[in-house]
Structure 1
Amino acid sequence: MSVSGDGVTVFDDRSVFASLEEGGTATADFRFRPQRAGNNELTSTVTYTLPGGTERTVTQNQTIETDPARRGVVLETSRSGSGTEQTLTVDIVNQGNTPADEVVVSGVSENATVSQTIVDSVPARSTKQVRLNTTLSEPRADVVVTAEYESGTVQRSVNTSTTLRATPAAIELTGLDVTREDGVFQITGSTSNVGTTTARSVIVRVVPSENVEPAAPNRDFFVGEVPGSDFSSFDLTARATGNVSSIPLEVSYLVDGERTRETFSAPVDMGLTGQQEQQTGGGPGAGLFAVLGLGVVVALVVAGLLVRRYRRGDDDDLDI
């Protein structure tokens, strides 16, 4: 069986059946593309051989009305993810009445690398969806998405623009805890990255102030890299004089090659500090001093009584 016609391109124009039983039916599908709009004549030819060896041919003509080609491929995009690694979803919408074949979808950006994918065909009045992997080198990337395709015998293309954004790294100090021992403050906590990009070369240090000085062994602490939406712990030491309500801290880090600095305050537990100062000011012998003082007062009172008694004895002698 074969199909042909003037002004018509037929794909896989021949189909063969080994046999067809008496009263049986066989169906063959043929794809064709008219080269012009209007009426097109198609000729179907069936050639077969009977059991006795006789060969016969049957021909049938059919008129096909072809609408003018309407080409209307559009692209719709959406994104998923918020870090430097994101996925760009592209809907290839064929609004025309001819298929879009050999579709190549790609993206171009100065601040991102975008993958490429291929779709064999998008039938007329249908949609196919593809995904492109993107890697941002900057917090923002303007991407031009292009689909090149074949419509009939003509090579066509369509494009659209979209913007991808990543939340830049931002470090906050969380879970701060301050303890004091022998006049030295121990400060522990976490450098928490509340952004989606990586913060690099993260350093935390104690800031010298009027009553606070960095102290060994951890005047500063090099954390290194903190990925987006992640954290890392640190440990600092400081020495303070007098009453201190907080320890000033500074965190610095690199974002896209630029160093950012932020200052924070680690609050000191005033109850704990007052207890330490009371112990330091009074000392372990404060209670002993109070007892000794009481003993001195008692001794003075006894001495006063003795003196008065002695004087009264003198007075008695004078009376005699």
Structure 2
Amino acid sequence: MNRIVPLLVVLCLVLPTVAFTGAAQTAQVSITNVTVSPNQPTPGERFTVTTTVRNAAANPSALEIDEVSLERNNGQEYADVRNLGTLAPGSELNVPLTHRFDEVGVQNLRVVVTGTSGEEDVEIRYPLTITVREGGPQVSIQLNDSVVGTETTATVLVANGEETTARNLRLTLSGESVAIDDATRVAPQLGSGETRAFTFDVRPGATSAALTATLRYTTAGGESVTTEERVQMNPENLREDVGIEATVVEGGVAPPVNVQVTNFGNAPLSRVVLGATVNETTVARRALDPIPPESTRTVQFNVSNVPEGDLTLSVNYETGSREGQVSTTVPYRTNPGRIELTGVDYEREDGKLYITGSASNVGLSDVDSVIVSVVPGDGVQPARPYREYFVGTVPASDFVSFDLYATVDENATAVPIRIEYLSDGIRESSVYEVPIDDLQPAAPSPATGGPSPLVFFGGGLVVIAVLATGGYLYLRR
């Protein structure tokens, strides 16, 4: 709670023109004037009461001044000057008296002059009222809501409502059950009408605590004055409650993750660090700004080179004097450039297997340096002219055709084809099996030990032709 001590109402000082009693009336001696400077002193500030004593010209005798004193009406004396000498008729004397009061309030005083004039004793009393006000720079303390064990800010306002400048200010903040960092502030001066705010980092250690601001300064008259202000703190016990939610942004090669961290507690979260792990391996980390109590911070967390799988998002933090962590897990799916073989076909050509198809990019980023090649294996060997085929770059969602040759025997059931490429700078490699179960066997080669059946078939035709010709000639005879 803010408290500003109001200034007391200025005292209207009424000074009578003359005041004297008893023998002074006969001796024609008087106090003609009393002034107070400053006329409204503050606690601890020295003030001066200047008394003008006059011996009238008509007085036949000089005035021997024994004492001029400042006292309460009950006779308690505060200041005096003795043996001031002789005051001739028609002359006057100014006598200064100084004093200070440490408490605010109205002081009912009197100035008393004693002496002798001729053979008469003289005593003159002059009534005086002085108000000691709460003056000079005023101090007030402003506090935010506080929590035990949690650092907060205390603001001390120093306001100078005086007409003069306060100098050499030294402000100290102390406390009960409160830790204070750098508890002293200094300033060379504070001008008339000026207000200055000084901030302090404080950390209450219990639910009942107090702060005291002590200001020391020098007045325009050179007096050193001290003023204090005290406030009670009522911090809450620490309530820790932090939540986290995460969602993967749809689409993209390496989709970012939106992470929402909510501080349901009553103390700020500091040293907040967001981390992502896959298979207990940290793949990304990021520091976040402090999160005030009862507030939420949402950040887009970019991750890269993360394999598909469960992605765990964790937030580590400090609140009050405690450390904590919250985490959540989301399924993470990436879609970088990836080559698959599509439209694969084959046929026999000159005793070799001719394989054609497309290297298709089914991802969302380009792939580079794509090579497809026949892998030697059981019953399969690469063959000329294309044992391997350099496809090159395949844009996202596009394809490039390729040609390969292999020799296979009767035991082969599939042709293994290796696919190699760069995706986001990472070399990828996989093997694609091309089944050849429906491949027709090759036609058998001609026998080498005897005549071909075509020879016998051709010879029979010749014999038939000869017999037919001979019969035709016989009948014509």
Instruction: Tell whether the structures are fold-level matches, with TM greater than 0.5.
Output: yes
User: Are 1:7 and 2:173 counterparts?
Assistant: no
Q: Give, in angstroms, the shift of residue 262 of structure 1.
A: 7.4
Residue 220 of structure 2 corresponds to which residue in structure 1?
Answer: 51
Q: Give, in angstroms, the shift of residue 134 of structure 1.
A: 2.2
Q: Give, in angstroms, the shift of residue 93 of structure 1.
A: 1.7
User: Are 1:78 and 2:247 counterparts?
Assistant: yes
User: Are 1:41 and 2:210 counterparts?
Assistant: yes
Cα distance in 1 for partners of 2:238, 2:282 equals: 36
1:27 corresponds to which letter in structure 2? A
SS at structure 2 position matched to 1:150 = strand
| Aligned mate of 1:253, from 419, 422, 425 | 419
Instruction: Note closer, same or farther for the CA distance 1:43–1:260 as it changes in structure 2 (3 Å cut).
Output: farther
Cα distance in 2 for partners of 1:99, 1:202 equals: 56
- For residues 238-293 of structure 1, give each alpha carbon's deviation from its aligned partner in whole angstroms, at most 9, with x where no partner exists: 9xxxxxxxxxxx98636965424579xxxxxxxxxxxxxxxxxxxxxxxxxxxxxx
Cα distance in 1 for partners of 2:227, 2:248 equals: 57
Cα distance in 2 for partners of 1:8, 1:262 equals: 78
1:25 corresponds to which letter in structure 2? T
Cα distance in 2 for partners of 1:173, 1:258 equals: 14
Instruction: Note closer, same or farther for the CA distance 1:48–1:127 as it changes in structure 2 (3 Å cut).
Output: farther
SS at structure 2 position matched to 1:166 = coil
Cα distance in 2 for partners of 1:257, 1:112 equals: 24
Aligned length: 232
Residue 122 of structure 1 corresponds to which residue in structure 2?
Answer: 291
Contact 2:371 2:388 in 1 (8 A): no
Contact 1:84 1:136 in 2 (8 A): no
Q: Give, in angstroms, the shift of residue 98 of structure 1.
A: 0.5
| Aligned mate of 2:231, from 51, 55, 62 | 62
1:41 corresponds to which letter in structure 2? A
SS at structure 2 position matched to 1:2 = strand
Residue 158 of structure 1 corresponds to which residue in structure 2?
Answer: 326
Instruction: Note closer, same or farther for the CA distance 1:135–1:84 as it changes in structure 2 (3 Å cut).
Output: farther
- For residues 173-231 of structure 1, give each alpha carbon's deviation from its aligned partner in whole angstroms, at most 9, with x where no partner exists: 59xxxxxxxxxxxxx996431224769855399xxxxxxxxx9966973325647x254
1:126 corresponds to which letter in structure 2? S
**Greater share of residues in helix:** 1
Cα distance in 1 for partners of 2:224, 2:432 equals: 89
Cα distance in 1 for partners of 2:363, 2:280 equals: 19
Contact 2:238 2:320 in 1 (8 A): no
Cα distance in 2 for partners of 1:237, 1:152 equals: 69
Q: Give, in angstroms, the shift of residue 236 of structure 1.
A: 5.0
The TM-score normalised by the length of structure 2 is 0.40
2:285 corresponds to which letter in structure 1? Q
Q: Give, in angstroms, the shift of residue 154 of structure 1.
A: 2.0
Contact 2:252 2:334 in 1 (8 A): yes
Contact 1:77 1:90 in 2 (8 A): yes
SS at structure 2 position matched to 1:5 = strand
- Any stretches of 5+ residues in structure 2 without a counterpart? 1-170, 344-355, 375-382, 406-415, 422-427, 436-477
Cα distance in 1 for partners of 2:306, 2:234 equals: 54
Pairing 1:126-137 to 2, within 5 Å after superposition: 126-137=295-306
Residue 315 of structure 2 corresponds to which residue in structure 1?
Answer: 147
Q: Which has the higher contact order (CA 8 A, sep 6+)?
A: 1
Instruction: Note closer, same or farther for the CA distance 1:225–1:36 as it changes in structure 2 (3 Å cut).
Output: farther
Contact 1:171 1:199 in 2 (8 A): no
Cα distance in 2 for partners of 1:171, 1:157 equals: 42
Task: Decide which moves more: 52-61 or 7-16.
Answer: 7-16
Instruction: Note closer, same or farther for the CA distance 1:130–1:111 as it changes in structure 2 (3 Å cut).
Output: same
Contact 1:94 1:127 in 2 (8 A): yes
Cα distance in 2 for partners of 1:113, 1:71 equals: 26
- For residues 141-188 of structure 1, give each alpha carbon's deviation from its aligned partner in whole angstroms, at most 9, with x where no partner exists: 3222222222222222222222211247353659xxxxxxxxxxxxx9
User: Are 1:192 and 2:360 counterparts?
Assistant: yes
Residue 256 of structure 2 corresponds to which residue in structure 1?
Answer: 87
* Bigger Rg over Cα: 2
- Any stretches of 5+ residues in structure 1 without a counterpart? 175-187, 206-214, 239-249, 264-320
Instruction: Note closer, same or farther for the CA distance 1:62–1:137 as it changes in structure 2 (3 Å cut).
Output: closer
- For residues 65-105 of structure 1, give each alpha carbon's deviation from its aligned partner in whole angstroms, at most 9, with x where no partner exists: 22222111222223347566343333332111101111222
| Aligned mate of 2:400, from 230, 233, 237 | 233
The TM-score normalised by the length of structure 1 is 0.57
RMSD over equivalenced CA pairs, Å: 4.2
Residue 104 of structure 1 corresponds to which residue in structure 2?
Answer: 273
Cα distance in 2 for partners of 1:54, 1:232 equals: 92
Contact 2:312 2:330 in 1 (8 A): yes
2:419 corresponds to which letter in structure 1? Y
Instruction: Note closer, same or farther for the CA distance 1:16–1:118 as it changes in structure 2 (3 Å cut).
Output: farther
Cα distance in 2 for partners of 1:72, 1:154 equals: 12
- Identity, % of aligned positions: 27
Contact 2:249 2:257 in 1 (8 A): yes
